[in-house]
Amino acid sequence: MTVPFSDINTPPVSLPKTPKLLDQVRGKIRLKHYSIRTEQAYVDWIRRFILFHNKRHPTDMGASEVEAFLTHLAVKGKVAASTQNQARSALLFLYKEVLDQALPWMDDITLAKRPLRLPVVLTHAEVKAVLERLRGTHGLLARLLYGAGMRLMEGLRLRVKDLDFERRELLVREGKGAKDRITMLPVTLIDPLKNHLIRVKTLHGEDLRQGYGAVYLPDALERKYPNAHRDWGWQYVFPSRQLSVDPRSGVTRRHHADEKGVQRAMHQAVRDAGLTKPATPHTLRHSFATHLLMSGSDIRTVQELLGHKDVSTTMIYTHVLNRGGRGVVSPLDAI
């Protein structure tokens, strides 16, 4: 049999390999511009789901397997309701976005009900005692969290250009729900922040001299302003002490400081202050809101400063104010 000339000279076509499932998950998450933390959490839950069912492929499983896994987390793992709901969200993303499967059965799987608990709030004296025991960068960040009502990651992700010293305000970018908002910049922190930024700028200059100095930018901004990642204004206000490799791009750069260091410092300060309340950096945000309401601030203003979508979320701080018989005097105290 004579082989056609064209077949002899045409190299064999190799079909592209289908990416592994977890790589498909990562690709879809990055396509949707989800955060690296969401990516890590979702990939971990999906891996645990597959291992729980003896490495069966998710396409061979359905409602009963998902429900069995979520039940195991609650009953055997004794995880919090928020943790179980996060696992459910990861599996929902897997089936809907990656495997492109209709999920009418997922609606029948009950969400774990999160218990309604009042937030831990410190008094003015307790806040002062804790802040007095926090030194250096941790102390400056903690004062900013309390003074501006920010979440911990919002404070760590602050960029230099987000600080407006003249207007005494700061811009929180992509807070919870991917929303920007403006909040106050305490006057007492203006000089400490300016002195802090002098040291940060010196560090940035040293990075530039060594061929680094780039910072992470969202994909759209990095494409629109290809040189902005080295500009001073885009640098983090609270940078990490060391350079690190970005797990997505592989680029070596200086990220923002790690939240674990702040959490440990806060934990130690609470202990040193002799407090029994389980206070964390987020407690400073709760205390900010409660103290504003105590001083007579309008609840709508507090809602805006906190970045709450609904005023009902802010209303929980009024419950904190009303603790102890909703403000009335106990008859025992009248005896």
What is the pLDDT, as a whole number, of residue 235?
A: 95
Catalytic (active site) residue 282: yes
How many Cβ atoms from other residues are within 10 Å of residue 106's Cβ? Answer: 17
Question: Cβ distance 261 to 226 under 8 Å?
Answer: no
Q: Which stretch, 100-114, 159-173, 312-326, has highest mean pLDDT?
A: 159-173
115-139 mean pLDDT: 91
pLDDT in tens, 226-236: 788 889 999 99
Taking residues 31-57, report their average pLDDT.
91
Tell me the pairing of strands 181-184 and 163-164. Answer: unpaired
Query: Measuring CA to CA, which residue among 125, 134, 124 is closest to residue 267?
Result: 134
Q: Which residues pair with 181 in a beta bridge?
A: 172
Amino acid at 52: F
Q: Which CATH architecture has domain 21-108?
A: Orthogonal Bundle (1.10)
What homologous superfamily is domain 124-319 in, according to CATH? Intergrase catalytic core (1.10.443.10)
Task: Note the pLDDT tens digit of each residue in 175-191.
Answer: 776 788 999 999 999 99
Q: Is the pTM of this model over 0.85?
A: no
Q: Which listed residue (143, 256, 285, 291) is catalytic? A: 285
Is the pLDDT assigned to residue 38 strictly greater than 80? yes
Q: How far apart are CA 49 and CA 59, in angstroms?
A: 12
Strands, E, within the chain: which ranges?
163-164, 169-172, 181-184, 244-245, 252-253
Q: Of residues 88, 138, 143, 151, which has the active-site annotation?
A: 151
pLDDT band at 153 (very low <50, low <70, confident <90, very high): very high
Helix or strand (DSSP H, E) at 275: none
**For residue 227, what pLDDT is reported?**
81
**Over pLDDT 90: what percentage of the chain?**
50
pLDDT band of residue 216 (cuts 50, 70, 90) is confident
pLDDT at 325: 45
Residue 278 above 80 pLDDT?
Answer: yes
pLDDT of residue 324: 47
Told to judge if 216 belongs to the known catalytic residues of this protein, a careful annotator would answer no
What is the overall mean pLDDT for the chain?
86
The Cα 126–Cα 112 span in angstroms is: 34
Q: What token pair was written down for 331?
A: 């008859």
**Confidence grade of residue 296 (pLDDT, cut at 50, 70, 90):** confident
> What does 154-208 look like in DSSP terms, one character per residue?
HHHT-BGGGEETTTTEEEE-S-TTS--EEEE--GGGHHHHHHHHHHHHHHHHHHH
- Please confirm, yes or no, whether 255 is among the known catalytic residues: no
176 in active site: yes
pLDDT at position 255 over 60: yes
What burial letters (b/e) apply to 256-277, b meaning 16+ CB within 10 Å? bbeeeebeebbeebbeebebee
Q: Which of 28, 53, 173, 176 is catalytic?
A: 176
Calculate mean pLDDT across residues 17-35.
85
Type and span of the H or E element at 72: helix 63-75
The pLDDT > 70 percentage for the chain reads 86
Residue 330 has pLDDT above 80, yes or no: no
Q: What is the pLDDT of residue 53?
A: 94
Which of 118, 123, 117, 171 minimizes the C-alpha distance to 288? 123
> Where is pLDDT greater, at 33 or 327?
33
256 backbone dihedrals φ, ψ, rounded to 5°: -75, 165
> What per-residue confidence (pLDDT) applies to 5?
44
Q: pLDDT-derived band of residue 9, with 50, 70 and 90 as boundaries?
A: low
Query: 270 is written with which tokens?
Result: 């609470």
**Residue 42 among the catalytic residues:** no
Catalytic residue selected from 72, 161, 230, 282 = 282
Residue 12 has pLDDT above 60, yes or no: no
Average pLDDT over residues 114-119: 75
- Give residue limits of the domains in the chain: 21-108, 124-319
Nearest of 130, 135, 119 to residue 293 by alpha carbon: 119
